[in-house]
């Protein structure tokens, strides 16, 4: 009987251990997914009608392993959509940076259209800006690395990201600079920290000694009764007064002395720089080359397909074809246009490029001066996995995207397309 009970208990223990293991694995899978930046949680209208990132390239491949202190460069173009959502501020104040899990990478340099982006800047809607972000690996781990532009009162709008594995030891990280006064800072992360600790310690010792001066005497019951009795001469003695007066003088003298030696040591200082950088509005080289008009757009939920009926007029001298439809960092490429296929780098994050070809109702080129009505069909599970299908829950049920056209020479023309989108829920 006891043996039976024992074996039953063992079986239960094994089962419990199995269940726990499975739960742990599930938990690990879930936490694995949560390592990115929640970019999929941004409302689709925000991602589709704010920034369109394209030609994004990283100096390392997706899932590459680099060492602490290695440098990574992200470059590309970012298009500020003309039909910016009404619910957020226009990008009159923005900051170019990187979306990483905090300072696991150090930001070395950032440029918007060649202008250094230490400060914030402002941009114009409907224009395309080149960006460059240079980072230096600092903390080992597997990190998701995106370019990002923070827009005042809209938050961070992230571009496509890749995974980068950083190997090595965080203690080996070094970032050295030389100040304008000639001070060589060996490591920016630990610069002048001993001085901070020294002054904190000096004042803490003074404070502790002052408290001990009082704590060495009975505190609560006795003093409460003495206060009630009005025996202030016993509560605060002449010695206390003398010490207090000396401390006042000592503190003031220390402050003056500390500031004098600081002034001698650092005679040249500048205040924090809080100005705004200026970036000239770039010329829109594609202006007027193609006219795109949205006639209708439908999101077919069961098939995860967006179909756009668009009227397209070719105002150039060469025939053109639709090569790519891109929205919210998801790329739908027309496989029958070689120039478009060439634009997809090998290292580009696979989850952001649709597997199937972009379907066009008429693949024949649009001739110069010709106007065509085309059905453009973008199908991929990415609509679901990137949570773009939730645009049906948005207060603004509209979409925004870029259309890439290519002529026979492989030259690219980019035009915005936007409009209302109608859902179809059933087959």
User: CA torsion 34→38→40→45, rounded to 10°?
Assistant: 170
**Distance in angstroms (rounded) separating the CA atoms of residues 109 and 98:** 11
Q: Which two tokens stand for residue 372?
A: 């065509």
Nearer to another protein, 11 or 244 (CB): 244
- 344 is a site residue for another protein (CB under 8 A): no
Q: Are 146 and 158 in contact (CB under 8 A)?
A: yes
**Distance in angstroms (rounded) separating the CA atoms of residues 396 and 87:** 9
Nearer to another protein, 158 or 366 (CB): 158
Nearer to another protein, 130 or 298 (CB): 130
- 116 is a site residue for another protein (CB under 8 A): yes
Using CB under 8 A as the binding rule, the residues of this chain from 276 to 335 that contact another protein are 276
Q: Which of 148, 310, 320, 414 binds another protein (CB under 8 A)?
A: 148
Contacting range for another protein; rule: CB under 8 A; set: 148-156, 279-287, 298-306, 309-317? 148-156
Q: Which of 56, 74, 94, 290 binds another protein (CB under 8 A)?
A: 94
Q: Are 308 and 390 in contact (CB under 8 A)?
A: no
Q: Which of 274, 288, 350, 395 binds another protein (CB under 8 A)?
A: 274
Contacting range for another protein; rule: CB under 8 A; set: 43-51, 271-279, 306-314, 416-424? 271-279
Long-range Cβ pairs for the range 82-85 (8 Å, 24+)? 82/125, 82/126, 82/416, 82/418, 83/49, 83/398, 83/400, 83/416, 83/418, 84/49, 84/50, 84/125, 85/45, 85/46, 85/49, 85/50, 85/396
**Distance in angstroms (rounded) separating the CA atoms of residues 79 and 89:** 16
Secondary structure of residue 298 in the 3-state scheme: strand
What is the size of the binding site for another protein (CB under 8 A)? 98
- 57 is a site residue for another protein (CB under 8 A): no
Secondary structure of residue 217 in the 3-state scheme: coil
- 102 is a site residue for another protein (CB under 8 A): yes
Query: In the structure, how many helices (H) and strands (E) does the chain have?
Result: 8, 21
Using CB under 8 A as the binding rule, the residues of this chain from 149 to 188 that contact another protein are 150, 152, 155-156, 170, 175, 177-181, 183, 185, 188
- 34 is a site residue for another protein (CB under 8 A): no
Q: Are 314 and 345 in contact (CB under 8 A)?
A: no
Q: Which of 46, 104, 128, 391 binds another protein (CB under 8 A)?
A: 104
Contacting range for another protein; rule: CB under 8 A; set: 160-168, 266-274, 305-313, 341-349? 266-274
**Distance in angstroms (rounded) separating the CA atoms of residues 208 and 214:** 10
Contacting range for another protein; rule: CB under 8 A; set: 25-33, 61-69, 80-88, 255-263? 255-263
Nearer to another protein, 271 or 302 (CB): 271
Nearer to another protein, 212 or 283 (CB): 212
Q: Which two tokens stand for residue 388?
A: 């773009």
Using CB under 8 A as the binding rule, the residues of this chain from 189 to 248 that contact another protein are 189-193, 195-196, 199-200, 203-204, 206-208, 210-211, 214-215, 218-230, 232, 235-236, 240-241, 244-245, 247-248
**Distance in angstroms (rounded) separating the CA atoms of residues 264 and 175:** 27
* Shortest spacing between CB 241 and another protein, in angstroms: 6
Q: ∠ at Cα 215 (212, 218), nearest 5°?
A: 155
Binding mask 118-147 for another protein (x = CB under 8 A): xxx-----------------xx--------
Nearer to another protein, 132 or 372 (CB): 132
Which residue, among 72, 63, 43, has the nearest Cα to 157 in the 3D structure? 43
187 HSE (CA, 13 A, CB side): 11
């Amino acid at each position: 009987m006891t043996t039976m009970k024992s074996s039953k208990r063992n079986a239960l223990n094994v089962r419990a251990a199995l269940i726990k293991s499975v739960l742990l694995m599930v938990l690990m899978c879930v936490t694995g997914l949560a390592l990115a930046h929640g970019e999929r949680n941004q409302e689709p209208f925000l991602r589709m009608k704010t920034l369109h990132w394209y030609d994004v390239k990283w100096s390392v491949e997706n899932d590459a392993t680099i060492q602490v202190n290695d440098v990574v460069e992200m470059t590309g173009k970012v298009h500020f959509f003309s039909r910016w959502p009404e619910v957020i501020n226009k990008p009159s104040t923005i900051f170019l940076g990187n979306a990483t899990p905090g300072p696991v990478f150090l930001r070395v340099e950032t440029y918007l259209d060649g202008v250094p982006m230490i400060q914030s800047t402002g941009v114009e809607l409907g224009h395309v800006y080149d960006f460059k972000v240079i980072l230096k690996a600092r903390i080992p781990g597997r990190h998701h690395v995106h370019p990002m532009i923070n827009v005042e009162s809209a938050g961070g709008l992230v571009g496509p990201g890749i995974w980068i594995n950083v190997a090595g030891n965080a203690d080996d990280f070094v970032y050295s600079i030389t100040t304008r006064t000639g001070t060589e800072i060996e490591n920016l992360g630990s610069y002048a920290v001993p001085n901070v600790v020294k002054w904190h310690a000096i004042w803490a010792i003074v404070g502790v000694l002052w408290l001990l001066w009082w704590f060495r005497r009975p505190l609560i019951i006795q003093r409460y009764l003495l206060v009630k009795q009005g025996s202030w001469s016993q509560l605060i003695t002449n010695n206390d007064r003398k010490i207090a007066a000396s401390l006042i003088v000592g503190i003031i003298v220390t402050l003056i002395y500390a500031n004098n030696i600081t002034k001698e040591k650092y005679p040249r200082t500048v205040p924090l720089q809080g100005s705004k950088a200026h970036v000239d509005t770039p010329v829109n080289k594609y202006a007027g080359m193609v006219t795109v008009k949205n006639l209708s757009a439908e999101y077919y939920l069961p098939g995860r397909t967006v179909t756009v009926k668009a009227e397209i007029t070719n105002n150039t001298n060469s025939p053109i074809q639709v090569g790519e439809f891109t929205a919210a960092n998801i790329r739908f490429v027309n496989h029958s246009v070689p120039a478009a296929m060439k634009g997809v780098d090998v290292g580009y994050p696979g989850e952001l490029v649709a597997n199937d070809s972009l379907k066009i109702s008429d693949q024949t080129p649009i001739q110069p001066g010709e106007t065509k009505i085309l059905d453009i069909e973008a199908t991929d599970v990415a609509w679901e996995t990137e949570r773009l299908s939730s645009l049906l829950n948005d207060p603004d049920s509209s979409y925004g995207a870029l259309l890439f056209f290519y002529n026979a020479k492989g030259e690219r023309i980019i035009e915005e397309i936007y409009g209302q989108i109608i859902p179809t829920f059933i087959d």
